[in-house]
Structure 1
Amino acid sequence: MLLIFGWGWRVKHLRTLTLRCARCGTTAAHPLYRRVLKVSLFFIPLIPLRTRYTIQCTACGVQTDVDPAALQA
């Protein structure tokens, strides 16, 4: 019996925020992404293992993790 499994990140763009970057100090657009690590069986994503929310500065490219509780406010 052959069993094919693996894992991979699924990325979804949620919205774009205008923020001041902590690294470069530029006020720029920061897309907010939800990244979910899922286990796949026969190339079908089944079980989510980890969820992360990140923003990325469009000026310098730095990615920063965001606390999900801060998104609720």
Structure 2
Amino acid sequence: MNCKNCQRSTIHSLRYAQKKFTLYFIPLAPLSTQHYLQCNVCGATSEITKDRATELQQQKEMDQKSGPLPGDTPQ
């Protein structure tokens, strides 16, 4: 995937930020959640929808279950 900031083809990390209602500094209930893709080279983030984040997470899980592709080197 190409980064919109540094224009490099790199791996992106799926991140999320959650705002919570707090009472006396104790987090009680989530108010909202935002999902992001973060570039592993420059650190730039871009917001994505919850549906897209779910889709990417499922794709990652399927890739992990299928194992390495022929010719891939172990890391």
TM-score category by the smaller chain?
0.5 to 0.7
- TM-score, L = length of structure 2: 0.61
The RMSD of aligned alpha carbons is 1.5
1:58 aligns with one of 29, 32, 40: 40
What's the % identity of the aligned pairs?
A: 31
The alignment status of 1:68 with 2:50, answered yes or no, reads yes
Question: More strand by proportion, 1 or 2?
Answer: 1
Matches within 5 A, 1:1-73: 19-73=1-55
- Relative contact order (alpha carbons < 8 A, sep ≥ 6): 1 or 2 greater? 1
Question: More helix by proportion, 1 or 2?
Answer: 2
Equivalences, count: 55
Q: Stretches of 4+ moved more than 3 A in 1?
A: none
- TM-score, L = length of structure 1: 0.62
